[in-house]
Amino acid sequence: MRICVIFNPAARGEKARRFRRHLDEIGTETTLKLTTAPGDARRLAAEAVDEDFETIVAAGGDGTVNEVLNGLGDVRDGFKRARLAVLPLGTVNVFARELRVPLKLMAAWDSIRQGHEIQIDLPQVQFASNGGSQTRYFAQLAGAGLDARAIELVEWELKKRIGPLAYVLAGLHALLGNASKITAQVDDGQTAGGGLVLIGNGRLYGGPFRIFPRADLRDGLLHVCVFPRVNWLTLARCGPPLLLRGRLPASAVKMLQAKTVTLTSASRTPMEVDGELLGNLPATFSLAPCQLRVIVPRNLSWLH
């Protein structure tokens, strides 16, 4: 099995430091491609597909996973020709948690070497950009409104120092602004409106939080969570059960399931995919059932 690992050598944090200590060991078994600038992981992943690597490893966080995923999509039949694997070195690692990849470095590497493959749904979003239409794939989640605004406001130096707490502080800051009014319409004609809309491929959002408890990476559906209001009262109502039980109170949100979701807003409303800012609404989200090949730990019963 030919493995290519894509890694940002400038990455900071203890996980990245541990990875560097194991580079010699890992490098004897695979080819390493090192990024030098934003967007490099996407380019290097496409290059690795053209070089006929069977497994392409995103060594980083959810942003790196997203870049590598889109690099596979840039190559003709890229999702058929190569498999995606994750070595979780990021701040939150939501997609790795969803796949139940071990968060300890060498345990994760051992599961990659075993090469156990499943196929999961492949979501994408279409949106207007620079006078044309763009398509971007995502692995785990997307959002529009408050969460994307929080990402806009994150102070990246602060994130390096305090990790996920930086997103919490940015979210509190975002609450001080005017909430967007977003309309979500799904393929059966149902609509729902609110100031924050989250779209999940899997169950998890923001780490261990089960925002989409009914979701499954192979169910052929996008799961939509709409917050009708986004204010301090909503935070007080949703925060404690989310922190204590990892779930939102059902009465505070509207949940939808669909193969296609369109989000619109009359005002400028940012959106994100896999925790990375993408652009502004309107946008249409869809998925291709079981089109993404991923490496997962072998001993997970729910994957069989």
Mind giving me the DSSP string for 5-71? EEE-TT--SHHHHHHHHTHHHHHTTSEEEE--STTHHHHHHHHHHHTT-SEEEEEESHHHHHHHHHH
Mean pLDDT of 221-237: 88
What are the domain boundaries of the chain? Answer: 3-115, 124-290
Instruction: Answer yes or no: are the C-beta atoms of 303 and 296 closer than 8 Å.
Output: yes
Question: Residue 49 above 70 pLDDT?
Answer: yes
48-57, 127-136, 143-152 — which one is most confidently predicted on average? Answer: 48-57
Please state, in angstroms and as integers, the Cα–Cα distance from residue 206 to each residue in 3, 141, 267, following that order.
29, 9, 26
Q: Is the model more confident about 36 or about 81?
A: 81
Per-residue pLDDT of 197-222, as tens digits, reads: 999 999 999 888 999 999 999 999 99
Angstrom distance (rounded) from CA 250 to CA 247: 9
Burial class (CB in 10 A: 0-12, 13-18, 19+), 37: exposed
Q: Say what the pTM is.
A: 0.91
Q: Say whether domain 124-290 belongs to CATH 2.60.200.40.
A: yes
Class of the CATH-defined domain 3-115: alpha beta
Q: Which pLDDT value is given to residue 249?
A: 87
Number of Cβ atoms within 10 Å of the Cβ of 30: 18
Residue 236's pLDDT band (cuts 50, 70, 90):
confident
Question: Residue 13 above 90 pLDDT?
Answer: no
Mean pLDDT of 4-15: 78
